[in-house]
Amino acid sequence: MIVAVEGCAHGELDQIYKSVEILANQKGVKVDLLICCGDFQAVRNENDLQCMAVPDKFRHMCTFYKYYSGEKTAPILTIFIGGNHEASNYLQELAYGGWVAPNIYYLGYAGVVQVGNLRIAGISGIFKAHDFLRGHFEKSPYTNGTMRSAYHVRNLEVFRLKQLKGKIDIFLSHDWPRGIYNYADTTELLHWKPFFRNEIANNTLGSQAAETLLHELKPNYWFSAHLHCRFAATVNHNDEEKTEFLALDKCLPRRKYLELIDIPHETPKSIELSYDPEWLAILRLTNHLLSVQMTSQYLPSGGPGCRERWDFTPSEKEIADVSECFQQDLRIPVNFVKTVEPFRFGNQVNRRARQPDAQLNPQTTEFCRKLGIDDPMRMLIGEPVTLPPVENPDEISLDDIEETNDNVDDAAPVKVEENELFVIDTNPQKRTKMTLPPPVTETITSEDSTVKDSSAVEQTLGNIPETSGAEGVDANQDVPAQKKFKRRNQALYTTEESDY
């Protein structure tokens, strides 16, 4: 199967589909699937723009609304996860995944689907320790704080993904797994992103949650974005299992934002989107753990004296029961419906646009009804619902900083002439050798409970494998003079909360 992998989309669907077509023609292949690794920006209208956690100057309609309205149709089956630049109000309607437009499917907070015989899993958002243990308490209209925390990864999704036992072919995350830089040429990375130096030296660059999932699930491929550069690595878990990691840039001219990958695919199964029965069973078995509260939630760990079920890897019977809920037909229904009025190009600018009230999505309503689980949005807006119980459930701030890794102007829309093509740079990049300073010991203080929560997060994630540290670090060497970066870039790469 030929899979096109895209880094940060930033709403530029027209250009992405055009680039896929160009690459496919150059290579003489047919692309079967497009995967986008976050910052998708599924913005339907001007009200959705008000739910994006970015400065006003970066709020632009881009081109997704054309595919939502039906003006255009996605030419390739497209699957994506959420990042930290999203219209969170829309994606929250589809907590368990769904069609955001015809032929464009969102995986939800976390999800597993099958495309043909490929098993694709992913987790949306970015990791922030101070929100990791909380429930999904946010809903539109948002405050400045909840607009950001809405896209922060939660422990429930990580806990659910850790129950998977079947082999995963492709895993998607927006931010990188922490420590992934230790499995490739770190010097190459630092040539293009020198401001990662201290974080790599202190092993703080990337997501702790993604790191533990990488080493537990051991997928064949792992695709990410977020840090706006291309980076590849190979993680050898043991003699038989390895993960090929690839991160890509954002959709801009002369950037490495798109690649075509030929992934072995067994026929005769047709290339269509289906639910994964093991994942459905996990959702059903862990429904009672769902929280929409702001308070911290500690999930079952199976320690001494634990009387509740803590291992939710489903049995064959539990998987069979779930398939029965869907009458043995696990094909994902093509049931997209528009729930708001889309933006119309040429209309007068709506200067009264505001954040909309939270609402339900009929796709999620139908999915939860069939599976017998709760809709997080229905719980948040307080609509009563009666669900059948799962058999024997007890058996056995700092505000995020706007992300720009290069110049601030990079995040602004790029004017492209109608006949101009985005060039995907495939030339080898020259680099210079660079060494890292020794790890810097800092005393971290906090006015809130971030430090305490961080300790709890480490315990919740479990044992994360030790890494050998960044290549080239000598604890006895003199620290070289640090290059002074512009103030806007210094703020982005401090150890305080930042979103890149």
Q: What is the CATH number of the domain that holds 483?
A: 3.60.21.10
Nearest to 44 by CA among 13, 80, 15: 13
Residue 498 lies in a domain: no
What token pair was written down for 39? 């910052």
Residue 19 lies in a domain: yes
Query: Given this model, what pLDDT does residue 456 score?
Result: 62
CB atoms within 10 A of CB 426: 9
Query: Given this model, what pLDDT does residue 301 score?
Result: 86
Question: Parallel, antiparallel, or unpaired: how do β-strands 2-6 and 118-123 relate?
Answer: unpaired
Do 322 and 282 touch, CB atoms closer than 8 A? no
Residue 30 lies in a domain: yes
Residue 500 lies in a domain: no
> E strands of 336-481, at which residues?
none
Q: For residues 220, 247, 122 and 499, what is the CA-based torsion angle, rounded to 10 degrees?
A: 150
Query: Given this model, what pLDDT does residue 457 score?
Result: 67
Query: Given this model, what pLDDT does residue 57 score?
Result: 81
Whole-model pTM: value is 0.81
Query: Given this model, what pLDDT does residue 433 score?
Result: 44
What token pair was written down for 380? 């948040």
Do 218 and 1 touch, CB atoms closer than 8 A? no
What token pair was written down for 316? 């064959």
Query: Given this model, what pLDDT does residue 454 score?
Result: 55
Tally of residues, the chain: 500
Which CA distances in Å does 485 have to 134, 250, 319, 491?
Answer: 35, 22, 54, 10
- pLDDT tens digit sequence for 394-434: 333 333 433 444 333 344 444 444 333 434 444 444 443 44
How many separate domains does the chain show? 1
Rounded CA-CA distance 172/158 in Å is 13
- For the chain, which ranges sit under pLDDT 50? 384-436, 442-452, 463-500
Per the DSSP assignment, residues forming a β-bridge with 232 are 246
Residue 262 lies in a domain: yes
Do 288 and 372 touch, CB atoms closer than 8 A? no
Residue 497 lies in a domain: no
Do 261 and 220 touch, CB atoms closer than 8 A? no
Residue 123 lies in a domain: yes
What token pair was written down for 498? 């930042």
Query: Residue 401 corresponds to which amino acid?
Result: I
Do 59 and 11 touch, CB atoms closer than 8 A? no
Residue with tokens 């890509």: 248
Do 150 and 92 touch, CB atoms closer than 8 A? yes
Rounded CA-CA distance 102/267 in Å is 25
- pLDDT tens digit sequence for 458-488: 666 664 444 433 333 343 444 444 444 444 4
DSSP state of 152: B
Residue 135 lies in a domain: yes
Domain of residue 393 covers: 2-492
Q: Tell me the angle at which helices 362-371 and 316-325 cross, rounded to the nearest 10 degrees.
A: 130
362 preceded by cis ω (within 30°)? Answer: no
C-alpha angle 26-31-33 in degrees, rounded to nearest 5: 145
Do 166 and 118 touch, CB atoms closer than 8 A? no
What token pair was written down for 159? 């806990």
Rounded CA-CA distance 454/439 in Å is 20
Count the helix, strand and coil residues of the chain and give each as a percent rounded to the nearest 5.
Answer: 30, 15, 60
Phi-psi region for residue 328, left (φ > 0), alpha (ψ -120 to 50) or beta? left
End-to-end CA, the chain: 32
Rounded CA-CA distance 72/11 in Å is 14
Q: 121: part of which helix (H) or strand (E)?
A: strand 118-123
